[in-house]
Amino acid sequence: MFRRSYLRSKARQRVLVHLDVHDDSAADIEGVLLDVHADVLELSAASMLPPNGGSVPLDGTQLVPRDRVKWVQVLSAEVAP
């Protein structure tokens, strides 16, 4: 997996979370990384990115189980609070 302390240093940055799933219908999630917990990544202002293109906005805070995360791509520097 990845080191929680390093990933936590990327809080408040826009990230793309690539999910480790076993079917082709899964979508990745883009959003602002709020926090990294032992078992989940916490994202806000998130969108689901289906494999067929487009973007679907997600309401509220998203909790992504860390055991479903394949890798995390940092897209931008820190965003305003």
The domain spanning residue 36 has which CATH number?
A: 2.30.30.100
pLDDT at site 25: 65
pLDDT higher for 50 or 79? 50
d(CA 32, CA 22): 25
pTM: 0.83
Pairing of strands 56-57, 69-78: unpaired
81 inside domain: no
Q: What digits encode the pLDDT tens for the residues 3-53? A: 668 788 888 999 999 998 776 667 899 999 999 998 999 999 999 998 888
d(CA 6, CA 9): 5
Backbone phi and psi for residue 54, each to the nearest 5 degrees, phi listed first: 85, -175
- For the chain, the farthest-separated pair of C-alpha atoms sits apart, in whole angstroms, at 36
Range of the domain at 61: 4-74
pLDDT at site 79: 65
Q: Is the pLDDT of residue 80 over 80?
A: no
